Chains A and B, each alone.
Chain A
Amino acid sequence: MHDMSAPVAHQHAPPTSFIRKYVFSLDHKVIGKQYYGLALLAAYVGMGLSWLMRFHLAWNSTAIPGLQFLSASGAPGGVMTPEYYLQLMTMHGTIMVFFVLTTAPFAAFGNYFLPIQVGAEDMPFPRFNMMSFWVTFTAFLVLMSSFFVGDGPTLGGWTQYAPLNAIGSVGGPGQGTGVVLWAVSIALFCVGQLLGALNFISTTLDLRVKGMSMMRLPLSAWSWFITSCIGLTAFAVLMPACILVILDHVAGTSFFVASGLVMNDQVLPHSGGSTLLWQHLFWFFGHPEVYIAIVPSMGIVSHILLANQRKPMLSQRVLIYSMGALAVLSYMVYGHHMFVSGMNPFSSLVFSFPTLVITIPSTIIVLIWTFSLYGSKLRINSASLFSLGFISMFVSGGVSGFFLAQPSIDIMLHATYFVVGHFHLVMGVAAMFGIFAGTYFWFPKITGRMMSEPLGKLHFWLSFVGAYCIFMPFHYLGMAGNVRRYSTFVDDFLQPLIPVHKFITIAAFVTGAAQLIFLYNLFYSRFKGAPAPDNPWEATSLEWSTATPPPFDNFGGKHPIVYHDPYQYGVKSSVGDYVMQTSPEQVETEFEEK
């Protein structure tokens, strides 16, 4: 341990009972691990659903053995029905966006490392923090329960467009109880994330230790802080929207259903609602949500690359401002999801310009990452490979944004596989790579053991090449006019594209199987991995200055003092080419942040 000549913090004893220690724990580290576990479970459920969907898309009349036991009416004789496909698709999207991409990089890693990186003992509101996890966990259970209730989960897609989300079971299987469970789950999820965001923001603003100015915060901490600011406003809009949906179902209101709609030759009893209102509310949340998923990964990847390139960022300040710009712009662009929705076509033009402007901070971020590699001494390991893979994926998924930002082109690409390819690369795969990078990087600190590098690299190669094989062809399908959310391709026009779908499906199976290597590595290394030193990556930030795994109060009864910017690499110090934030040692560096 480095010099921790700091005042002694008031120590509170760790809990001893099993329940308080592992279940209803107030410790941010345990809560972080709980979030990670939830995300892990959700990710594999979501991946399993995508396997079923991909199989059905490629071989739509072939039975999937055993599927009939999951749902007798959804898959008679194992052959998936159109509605079951849509139900699985909705669950895949909802699980992945909310319970994986939001929880893992933000809630899991953020909970564990944000307090440590700012030097705090815990978050300011540990009880809210505990509630945040358990409410989120309940949300997950509620969502999963829809598989087993009534006629299954909702089939309306993760965007749950109105009025299909509000008219009840006349809309189709799952549109009654299924939608209500979905809306309850997401409303709970919002509560959980709002509580989390509150904690994150106050941790960052109020609990920084002596010497830890905002600009000395590591980039990961910055990204969690920015994300919580987005989350606080975005989830605060989605939650009431979900409540309105629930009211439309159970209280006879008509927020999202217009008058005079006819289903099964019967006029619906609703009147006076607005269909487009839902889209505005949803996308006001939905677009910022994209940044909630990706910004933490940007911070995590920056943090990891810096430790591996042994050289500071070209400009940390520019990177922070750019991430902030993304957050602000994210609210001004949501209308690009609605170009052809029937909203005023003039609004489409207005929304298209800020969307195009988002290209600028995104480009700056990519340029800063890439050109920071120039002249570096890059170390290649699983964590840095996934970080580099992240940059590549982010670029590939990002350039398709050029197209989708323009309303005129959107006429051709809206609701096609092009969009699916775009968001899977830029917020799905890229964010997943951020999660993987974070896992390989921080696993030693969390568990005290190293993960297997050979298995990690194998996992990387299969995932990297596999993800490209899956999602690049999505763009081609979209350009050819392949509409998304079709359970079967019956249009004459789509027949020639089915071989592409078969290729994608095979790639998805291989890539998915590669994720089992990760799972094995995770559990094997947890128990059998090589013991980890306190600072295996020779990194500088506060989490590496404490014991492995960190004690209950993070710094063993002391408040650390911060003397340096977060990424003092490429210097000459008593320990090597870096100096830790907590080290009072004065070093000279030509790479000092200006």
Chain B
Amino acid sequence: MRTKSMLVGVSTLLMSSSLMFAGTVSGKVTFTGTPAKPKTIDMSKEPSCAKQHATPLTTESVVTGPNNGLENVVVYVSSGAPDDGQVPAQAVTYEQKGCQYLPHVLPMHVNQELKITNEDQTSHNIHPLAKVNHEWNKSQPPGTPAISEKYEKAEFISVKCNVHPWMHGVFAVMNTNHYDLSKGGGAFKLPNLPPGKYTITAWHEDYGTQTADITITSNETKDVNFTFKAKAY
């Protein structure tokens, strides 16, 4: 017990010392061209959900922000960063509310606990279409406890609810804690990167993948931008 806590203490010390010289990658994800207009989702089949949305939901596979910013892009260090192997102790939560997945894209670390909750009055089924990991398909009736799962391998997994075909989301399971999801104007930020050579990857569920190779020296903030070509249909 004591040895273990001592080890944890030492490793924390080592890590924080490396963090003192850490750099940051930040930037923006944008698109060129005209993306397809988001389509309105008709939930009339499930009245208890439909009434939760004053204005109907639209599809979330392409979400744009001001100045051609592209949201919901997973930007992460795909190689170069020694994976510290540290699985965050805190679980990530995936919420089903109003027959919508919140958040639409959920990044997580390999083996990190994933909690799925159902806030609706209807039964959902969560069907992540994993190909590398084990595929499962579980129903969650209203009022039942959260489902707890984890994924053992890195994979971007498309998530579906078979009962409500419009419900669609993504589990982004990665071997690193250095990731971010592009927000508002497409901005992202990967802090705490020790000096070194890295490959940064940006992944979008419809538009694909882009990568950038960079080198970080200590305490540097590097600007990296990604531009995706939008599809009209």
Contact = CB atoms under 8 A, between A and B. Distances in A.
User: Do A and B touch each other in the complex, judged by CB within 8 A?
Assistant: yes
Interface of A: 60-61, 73, 76-77, 79-84, 151, 169, 172-173, 264-265, 488, 490
27 contacts: A61-B141, A61-B142, A61-B143, A76-B141, A76-B144, A76-B147, A77-B144, A77-B145, A79-B141, A79-B143, A81-B123, A81-B125, A81-B138, A81-B140, A81-B141, A82-B123, A82-B163, A83-B139, A151-B136, A151-B137, A169-B135, A173-B137, A264-B127, A264-B129, A264-B162, A265-B160, A488-B123
Interface string B164-176: 0000000000000
A90 to B, nearest CB: 16
Nearest to A264: B129
Nearest to A73: B138
Contacts of B136: 151
Given A76-B145, A79-B144, A81-B141, 12 more contacts: A60-B141, A76-B141, A76-B147, A77-B145, A79-B143, A81-B125, A82-B163, A172-B137, A172-B162, A264-B129, A264-B162, A265-B158
A488 B139 CA distance: 13
Interface class of chain A by DSSP: loop
Rank and list the top 10 A-B pairs by shortest CB-CB distance, nearest first: A81-B139, A76-B144, A77-B144, A79-B144, A79-B141, A77-B145, A73-B138, A264-B129, A83-B139, A82-B139
B122 interface: yes
Classify chain B's interface size: 20 to 34
A490 B147 contact: no
Nearest to A62: B143
Contact of B122 (A73, A76, A490): A490
Nearest to B127: A264
Nearest to B142: A61
Contacts of B160: 264-265
Contacts of A83: 125, 139
A335 B160 CA distance: 37
Nearest to A83: B139
Contacts of A173: 137
B215 to A, nearest CB: 39
A82 B141 contact: yes
Contacts of A79: 141, 143-144
A220 B56 CA distance: 67
Contacts of B140: 76, 81
A169 B129 CA distance: 12
Interface in B110-146: 122-123, 125, 127, 129, 135-145
A88 to B, nearest CB: 14
Nearest to A175: B137
Interface in B14-59: none
Contacts of B123: 81-82, 488
A82 B139 CA distance: 7
Contacts of A488: 123
A251 B125 CA distance: 29
A181 to B, nearest CB: 18
A385 B125 CA distance: 49
Nearest to B138: A73
Contacts of A77: 144-145
Nearest to A487: B123
A79 B139 CA distance: 11
Nearest to B45: A490
A264 B125 CA distance: 13
Nearest to B168: A265
A177 to B, nearest CB: 13
Contacts of A151: 136-137
Contacts of A264: 127, 129, 160, 162
A29 B183 CA distance: 77
B16 to A, nearest CB: 41
Nearest to B48: A490
Contacts of B162: 172, 264
A77 B143 CA distance: 9
Contacts of B138: 73, 81
A81 B145 CA distance: 12
A80 B143 CA distance: 11
The CB with the most chain A CB atoms within 10 A, among B141, B162, B163, is that of B141
A81 B140 CA distance: 7
A77 B147 CA distance: 11
A521 to B, nearest CB: 39
A80 B144 CA distance: 10
B78 to A, nearest CB: 25
Nearest to B143: A61
A140 to B, nearest CB: 27
A84 B137 CA distance: 12
A585 B171 CA distance: 87
Contacts of B139: 81-84
Interface in B156-195: 158, 160, 162-163
A80 B145 CA distance: 12
Contacts of A490: 122
B177 to A, nearest CB: 30
Interface in B57-78: none
Contacts of B137: 151, 172-173
Contacts of A84: 139
B125 to A, nearest CB: 8
Nearest to B141: A79
